């Protein structure tokens, strides 16, 4: 039963399991105590810190363990941004950061740097955001992920670190998705990671703060972890986290080559096998194991359910699978199709046969979902003009109250029935429409003429041009 | 090799180990995902929450898991006190709360309620602190431990909960030390616990917030754990925590009786075996497994070291073992002797033979430590008057720069050499002197006449009366 959601949580690495078991027996005591059980725990903690620091590329006294990657990000952002309050209140982030970064930065004044259609920030845009804003407010901190958790797109961290250094703004790198594959190059100031993303246990994050980086912990005093992360050390899990990071690094080069080839196979074959699919993210500068695609006229939750029934565990950035009713902010920032979205993230050791089986079952599943929902097939021009409207006379398509992917499907059904040159106004109160109507227009070669607020929801203007 | 520091961290309960192993295989996926691995994780999480809630005595939807007991306290205090900011900024606590409570409350305006010499708060004193203070500032929250972590003294939680209800102030109970023994009675509003204190794994705390209690999370948004504790759920440890809580509760009555008898043996025999020892804490209303005592003229760190060499792992509230150079705030609040302080906290299943061996080796160890440091023996009156001072003429004993227990030893050597009626002024810059000089006077039947600031350190006045 292939599990293809390693980017959410990787199955426990055998080395992690082994180390955890050993540390349960040796490392349950308080490492701050002076008796033998405490000294033994302290030795384990020190050794784990050294191993983790070596893998991260920092000094052991620059690295602390936290209870999760989320906490590492929260503590890192609040500690670094608060320490530089006098330099400014703004925290500059890419628009595709993990929600933990966005929410932590949101406690300050958030400045989002847009990304291109592949999901990458540019050094120029980032540099522009680092200076004082129109009200003179400076930047306290910048945050950039090493690679994106939904698309695998790698960010130009070393380049952005240079830009930040130039501007005198510390850079926090969220390396949660990439630490398994190698250290993060470049002159970053802070770095956060999460053990269960690399095959370590839950309950462990890490935060590196380079010497000389100003840091002001914002939480109640606690002497543990250099006063930067409160609470009794989760020692067995920390030991397992460090041991497994070392282990996955030792396998990284071989695993990366294998998984990269499998993802390439998906990226290449998918558009051949499934009509109207958009594979998103950077095809080259990417993590080896993640690929994301969106399927036109597909309800993401239904597709995930069908894939689960077929034995494949994947996740989705579609709004239809989320309780928030909005599509993933990553897909939104990239401006790509969000409906029928699927993220495949392969764990270490994924068998080629499983990927082939995925490619074998997916086309029929997508067809079935589309058929059930009544999706139209083929380009707009192929369908005859049936509607009675005159050329140039505006038409209104009311999809209020309908959820993704219905508004796009209704549009796809209507447009062939209006004459070329007609502008259709689609009314929708579904957040996904903002993303998916323009994406549909691009895929179908039709003109997207913008949006404006309507009495209810939003009006999206689409002009038939072929 | 007996480990007698269960109050710091209990050895992992076999049931915890078993549950953890099973959950490592079944519970590594993200419980918010809809595929089978996620659903399986969700089932485990729900079952653990139900088991923990039942043990705590609350509804499952009132209980969240946190990464540690410290975090449970921090989140509980900040969430509850912030939600009632308009009622007042003050957080009322007993003076003997755990440091995690004091530090969390210190972010607001801290009001400490004193305790008696046994370490208990009175309902009257607590009630007095709940009303508006002299500047009209009201209380947002009250915090009281169910039992003390250093002395085992139980607090009158049910009574104080009534007082708080009367005053309309929510009560947070820190039940870290007592949850293994049973639920906390009384109408508390919030309750915090820590799994590694009851034989569960590190990495898990719990926080219960009763329905209807106002709560405003102060941390960056995160949808997990009802939006009250951020970060990926540490599921295998949570499962192990809940399973072991249930297991220790099943054994609690029998274990409590056995350990209570062993602690009684220590409380009774110790003063017979070791001269000048003060057993502190409530002899009756106490946890079954904790006993704390202090030994006059003994350097706590040296004694701990000797006990460790003899195979006994214990902890101490003496300043001489702490990096902060101050004695435990608990001993300070009780006004008891702090030098040569030892806390014995017995884990489940402690053998009577180990306690007997402890009682057998301790007297010689204390004697040896005292002999090495040159401690005087016997009462003051037994020594002859040797000093040349006239009766009533003040004498100054300069112990500046000397650390506990030296100032007290120097005083004990000098006083027999001055005539009865003489007042000796002891100059000391050691924080422990504030506690230990009055305690010595009480033990030796001499008059402690108060303190005042000196040019360096503090002057403590002691009058020889016998």
* Binary contact (A24, B35; C-beta < 8 A): no
What is the Cα A234 distance to its own chain's centre?
A: 27
> How do the domains of chain A map onto residue ranges?
14-248, 252-373, 380-463
The per-residue pLDDT for A369 is 95
The per-residue pLDDT for A381 is 67
The per-residue pLDDT for A380 is 73
The per-residue pLDDT for A27 is 92
Q: Cβ contacts (< 8 Å) between B30 and chain A: which residues?
A: 5, 8-9
- In this predicted structure, the answer to whether residue B424 has a pLDDT above a threshold of 70 is yes
How far is B63 from chain A, CA to nearest CA, in Å? Answer: 19
CATH class of the domain comprising B380-463: alpha beta
φ, ψ (nearest 5 deg) of residue A461: -100, 125
A18 by Cβ neighbours in 10 Å (0-12 / 13-18 / 19+) ranks as middle
* A96-118 exposure pattern, b = at least 16 Cβ within 10 A, e = fewer: bbbbbbbbbbebbbbbbbebeeb
CATH number of B252-373: 3.90.1150.10
Catalytic residue (one of A58, A143, A295, A320): A320
CATH number of A14-248: 3.40.640.10
The per-residue pLDDT for A391 is 58
The per-residue pLDDT for B376 is 87
C-alpha span between B111 and B91 (Å, rounded): 6
Q: Cβ contacts (< 8 Å) between B299 and chain A: which residues?
A: none
Q: Per-residue confidence of chain A (466 residues) as pLDDT tens digits?
A: 799 999 999 999 999 999 999 999 889 999 999 899 999 999 999 999 999 999 999 999 999 999 999 999 999 999 999 999 999 999 999 999 999 999 999 999 999 999 999 999 999 999 999 999 999 999 999 999 999 999 999 999 999 999 999 999 999 999 999 999 999 998 999 999 999 999 999 999 999 999 999 999 999 999 899 999 999 999 999 999 999 999 999 999 999 999 999 999 999 999 999 999 999 999 999 999 999 999 999 998 899 999 999 999 999 988 655 556 688 999 999 999 999 999 999 999 999 999 999 999 999 999 999 999 889 877 776 655 555 555 556 799 999 999 889 999 999 999 999 999 999 999 999 999 999 999 999 999 999 999 999 999 999 999 999 8
* Binary contact (B34, A321; C-beta < 8 A): yes
Confidence of residue B382 (pLDDT cuts 50, 70, 90): low
Establish whether B320 is a catalytic residue. yes
The per-residue pLDDT for A112 is 98
The per-residue pLDDT for B321 is 54
Catalytic residue (one of B164, B295, B320, B441): B320
Residue of B nearest to A308 (CA): B35
The per-residue pLDDT for B59 is 98
- Tell me if the pTM is above 0.90: yes
B196-222 pLDDT, tens digit each: 999 999 999 999 999 999 999 999 999
Confidence of residue B186 (pLDDT cuts 50, 70, 90): confident
The per-residue pLDDT for A393 is 65
The per-residue pLDDT for A321 is 54
Confidence of residue B322 (pLDDT cuts 50, 70, 90): low
B262-320 pLDDT, tens digit each: 999 999 999 999 999 999 999 999 999 999 999 999 998 899 999 999 999 999 988 65
Residue of A nearest to B24 (CA): A12
Q: What is the mean pLDDT of chain B?
A: 94
Angle made by CA atoms B372, B376, B380, in degrees to the nearest 5: 170
φ, ψ (nearest 5 deg) of residue A382: -70, -25
B393-402 pLDDT, tens digit each: 679 999 999 9
Closest partner residue to B12 among A5, A24, A70, by Cβ?
A24
C-alpha span between A330 and A334 (Å, rounded): 6
C-alpha span between A7 and A148 (Å, rounded): 10
Confidence of residue B363 (pLDDT cuts 50, 70, 90): very high
The residue count of chain B comes to: 466
How far is B395 from chain A, CA to nearest CA, in Å? Answer: 40
Confidence of residue B378 (pLDDT cuts 50, 70, 90): confident
C-alpha span between B378 and B444 (Å, rounded): 9
The per-residue pLDDT for B20 is 96
* Binary contact (A34, B314; C-beta < 8 A): no
The per-residue pLDDT for B1 is 78
How far is A379 from chain B, CA to nearest CA, in Å? Answer: 34
Residue in B28, B36, B323, B325 to test binding to A, most A beta-carbons within 10 Å: B28
- In this predicted structure, the answer to whether residue B246 has a pLDDT above a threshold of 60 is yes
Residue of B nearest to A232 (CA): B68
Closest partner residue to A231 among B35, B71, B236, by Cβ?
B71
**Three-state SS at A211:** coil
Which residues have a Cβ under 8 Å from the Cβ of A149 and sit 6 or more positions away?
A7, A98, A176, A177, A290, A330
Q: What is the mean pLDDT of residues B160-184?
A: 98
The per-residue pLDDT for A390 is 59
* Binary contact (A103, B70; C-beta < 8 A): no
The per-residue pLDDT for A255 is 97
How far is A367 from chain B, CA to nearest CA, in Å? Answer: 21
Stretch (H or E) spanning A88: none
The per-residue pLDDT for B391 is 57
3-state secondary structure chain B: CCECECCCCCCCCHHHHHHHHHHHHHCCCCCCCCCHHHHHHHHHHHHHHHHHHHHHCCCHHHEEEECCHHHHHHHHHHHHHHHCHHHCCEEEEECCCCHHHHHHHCCCEEEEECCCCCCCCCHHHHHHHHCCCCCCCCEEEEEEECECCCCCEECCHHHHHHHHHHHCCCEEEECCCCCCCCCCCCCCCEEEEEHHHCCCCCCCEEEEECCCCCCCCCCCCCCCHHHCCCCCCCHHHHHHHHHHHHHHHHHHHHHHHHHHHHHHHHHHHHHHHCCCEEEECCCCCECCCEEEEEECCCCHHHHHHHHHHCCCECECCCHHHCCCCCCCHHHHHHCCCCCCEEEEECCCCCCHHHHHHHHHHHHHHHHHHHHHHCCCCCCHHHCCCCCCCCCCCCEEEECCCCCCCHHHHHHHHHHHHCCCCCEEEEEECCCCHHHHHHHHHHHHCCEEEEEEECCCCEEEEEECCC
């Amino acid at each position: 039963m292939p599990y293809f959601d390693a980017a959410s949580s990787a199955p426990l690495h055998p080395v992690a399991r082994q180390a955890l078991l050993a540390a349960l027996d040796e490392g349950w005591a308080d490492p701050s105590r002076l008796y033998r059980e405490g000294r033994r725990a302290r030795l384990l903690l020190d050794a784990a810190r050294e191993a983790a620091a070596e893998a991260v590329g920092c000094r052991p006294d620059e690295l602390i363990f936290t209870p999760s990657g989320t906490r590492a990000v929260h503590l890192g952002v609040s500690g670094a941004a608060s320490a530089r309050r006098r330099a400014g209140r703004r925290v500059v982030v890419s628009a595709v950061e993990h929600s933990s970064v966005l929410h932590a930065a949101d406690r300050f004044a958030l400045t989002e740097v847009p990304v291109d259609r592949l999901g990458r920030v540019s050094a120029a845009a980032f540099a522009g955001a680092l200076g004082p804003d129109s009200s003179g407010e400076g930047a306290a901190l910048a945050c950039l992920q090493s690679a994106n958790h939904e698309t695998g797109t790698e960010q130009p961290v070393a380049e952005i670190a240079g830009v930040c250094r130039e501007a005198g703004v510390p850079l926090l790198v969220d390396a949660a998705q990439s630490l398994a594959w190698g250290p993060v190059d470049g002159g970053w100031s802070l770095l956060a990671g999460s053990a269960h993303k690399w095959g370590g246990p839950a309950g462990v994050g890490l935060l590196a703060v380079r010497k000389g980086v100003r840091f002001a912990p914002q939480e109640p005093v606690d002497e543990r972890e250099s006063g930067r992360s409160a609470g009794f050390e989760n020692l067995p899990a920390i030991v397992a986290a460090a041991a497994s990071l070392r282990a996955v690094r030792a396998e990284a080069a071989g695993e990366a080559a294998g998984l990269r080839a499998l993802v390439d196979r998906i990226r290449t074959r998918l558009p051949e096998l499934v009509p109207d699919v958009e594979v998103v993210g950077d095809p080259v500068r990417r993590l080896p194991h993640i690929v994301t695609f969106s399927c036109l006229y597909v309800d993401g939750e239904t597709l995930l359910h069908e894939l689960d029934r077929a034995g494949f565990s994947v996740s989705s950035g579609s709004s239809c699978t989320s309780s928030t009713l909005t599509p993933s902010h990553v897909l939104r920032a990239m401006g790509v199709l969000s409906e029928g979205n699927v993220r495949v993230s392969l764990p270490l050791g994924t068998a080629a046969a499983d990927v082939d089986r995925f490619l074998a079952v997916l086309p029929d599943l997508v067809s079935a979902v589309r058929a059930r929902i009544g999706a139209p097939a083929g380009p707009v021009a192929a369908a005859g003009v049936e509607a009675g409207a005159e050329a140039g006379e505006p038409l209104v398509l009311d999809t209020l109250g309908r959820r993704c992917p219905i508004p796009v499907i209704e549009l796809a059904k209507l447009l062939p029935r209006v004459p070329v040159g007609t502008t259709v106004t689609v009314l929708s109160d579904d957040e996904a429409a903002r993303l998916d109507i323009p994406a549909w227009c691009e895929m179908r070669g039709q003109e997207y003429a913008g949006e404006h607020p309507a009495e209810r929801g939003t009006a999206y203007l689409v002009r038939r041009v072929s």
